[in-house]
Amino acid sequence: MDLLSLLSLILLLILLLILPVVIFFFFFHKQKTLQKKSPYPPGPLSLPFIGNLHQLHHNAATHIYLWKLSKKHGPLMSMRLGSVPLLVVSSTKIATQVLKTNDLSFCSRPKVLGQYKISYNASDIAFTPYSQSWRELRKICVLHLLSSKQLHSFGPVREEEVFRMIKNLSAFSDKAAVANLSVTVLSLISTMICRMAFGKMSDDVDEESRKRRFDELMIESQAMLGGFFFSDYMPLFGWVDKLSGMIDRLDKVCKDLDEFFEALIDENLVRTRVKSVTNYNPNILDLLIQLKEDESSSIDLTWDNVKATLMDIFVAGTDTGTATIVWTMTALMQNPTAMKKLQKEIRDLIGGKGKVNEDDIPNIPYLKAVIKEALRLYPPAPLLLRQTLEKLNIEGYTIPPKTSIFINAWAIARDPEYWENPNEFSPERFLNSDAADVTGQDFRVIPFGSGRRGCPGMAMGLAMVELAVANLVYSFDWELPNGMKEEDIDSQVLPGLTMYKKIPLCLVPKTYNYTP
């Protein structure tokens, strides 16, 4: 190699080494200049191309990490996920402006590939951008599928499944064995959802097989709904999703889900011809099909709408219900005084009846306070996702349209400005006359969201949780496995849209024997 070639090679290597540094400082300077010139919320430094993805990707407790960042940058914080602008809201004051004052401007959803595909190209309620068809579909859910009438009609299903769970747990009590409560509760809630959504088959073998298939599909669907796709944040690198196998995996989940829903619909249409009009209590799928075939309906429902709505009910219902029950029992085990107080209230009321019915729940105020406090400390969806529809002003900052919003429900519910001893489990705070409301009207605690995007199935979810927790606490005295102490119970979470407990809650049930 001659001297000129050698010098050229050296210069090329120098350029390759210097270029990334130059690009980095260029973006850094540009970002600082824009922050000074434009009234945009402060936030952590974002890197070229990837923005702040490196800070959030693979971070299981994203809500905690964002809360820590907000301590430095403020309760309205700006970030960037690749090419996507993001705002993070971490205070009650700003959440009120977003979810109440400017709810219409903040009520859309960003298009995220996994959610978009699994929801039949945004044909559902949970993940669809704001539109007239979305409003009509949500109205149908509120007035028909998840109404107070339907809530009451499914009461016998909830009671039957909860009592079945208690009977199964009694076998562990007889053997003084450890029960995996996380697995037990997941099975309970998914069974309840299955029965309320598409009824119960007469062939027990087929029903059990279908239930197993449902559980498998839900696990894989949840993984894809919260999965990371490069195309969502860096469209030019969408080919990486194909190479990594994520696209094929997503396509397979969508295909398997569709086949599952098609089979349910076909089975339902066959049963419709032989149903007794006087004795039959319609399930959610029945109601959806009736609405689809109703020519006077305000919305022209498609089969994609039907299947996507079922998907919402399956995933949202199973996730939130399971997580809330497990975290409630976790908190009670960490706080034995609260556990004993709740047990006394329930057992004094129920006596030797042997089980807690739904009609008993309104007479157990401490139960409701315990569940509200668990929802405050462990909201099932710690980060609520929105997107702006238009340009607007918040706290003096200009927010452009199509900006993604994370509302940190976990951080808001632990704000020391509004909560005394915010990290302590104290159900008594919900027994006061000025106690916060968890249904979305009080922005100090918003486990179900609020406004147009608030959870329409909130009442149904609370009914499942209250009945399950009441019977678990009434029926058994719970102990930790040998060698385990209260302080050993952890609060780590799994990554995903729902805040699931990372390490399963395993306890020893001891059957309670009533003595008058």
Residue 499: Cβ-neighbour burial (10 angstroms; 0-12, 13-18, 19+): buried
Q: What distance in Å separates the CA atoms of residue 430 and residue 188, rounded to the nearest whole number?
A: 27
Structure letter (DSSP) for residue 202: S
Structure confidence at residue 16 (pLDDT): 57
For residue 29, the tally of other CB atoms under 10 A from its CB is 10
Per-residue pLDDT of the chain (516 residues; tens, 9 = 90+): 444 454 445 555 555 566 555 454 544 445 555 444 557 899 999 888 889 988 876 566 899 999 999 999 999 999 999 999 999 999 999 999 999 999 999 999 999 999 999 999 999 999 999 998 899 899 989 888 889 999 999 999 999 999 999 999 999 999 999 999 999 999 999 999 988 988 765 445 466 777 788 888 888 888 898 889 999 999 988 899 999 999 999 999 999 999 999 988 888 887 765 554 445 678 999 999 988 888 776 678 899 999 999 999 888 888 899 999 999 999 999 999 999 999 999 999 999 999 999 999 999 999 999 999 999 999 999 999 999 999 999 999 999 999 999 999 999 999 999 999 999 999 999 998 778 889 999 999 999 999 999 999 999 999 999 999 999 999 999 999 998 888 889 888 888 888 999 999 999 999 998 887
Across 270-369, the runs of DSSP E, i.e. the strands, are none
What distance lies between CA 251 and its chain's CA centroid?
23
Structure confidence at residue 38 (pLDDT): 56
Structure confidence at residue 202 (pLDDT): 47
Helix residue ranges per DSSP H, 76-154: 92-96, 113-118, 132-140, 148-153
Q: What distance in Å separates the CA atoms of residue 288 and residue 198, rounded to the nearest whole number?
A: 10
Q: Residue written as tokens 């309620």?
A: 125
Structure confidence at residue 360 (pLDDT): 97
Binding-site members are 455
How distant, in Å, are the alpha carbons of 8, 68, 385 from that of 443?
A: 64, 20, 16
Looking at domain 53-511, does it have CATH number 1.10.630.10? yes
394 beta partners: 397
Q: What angle do CA 319, 407, 317 make, to 5 degrees?
A: 15
Structure confidence at residue 201 (pLDDT): 52
Q: What distance in Å separates the CA atoms of residue 327 and residue 325, rounded to the nearest whole number?
A: 6
Q: What is the side-by-side strand order in the sheet with 476-479?
A: 179-180, 506-511, 476-479
Binding-site members for heme are 455
Structure confidence at residue 14 (pLDDT): 59
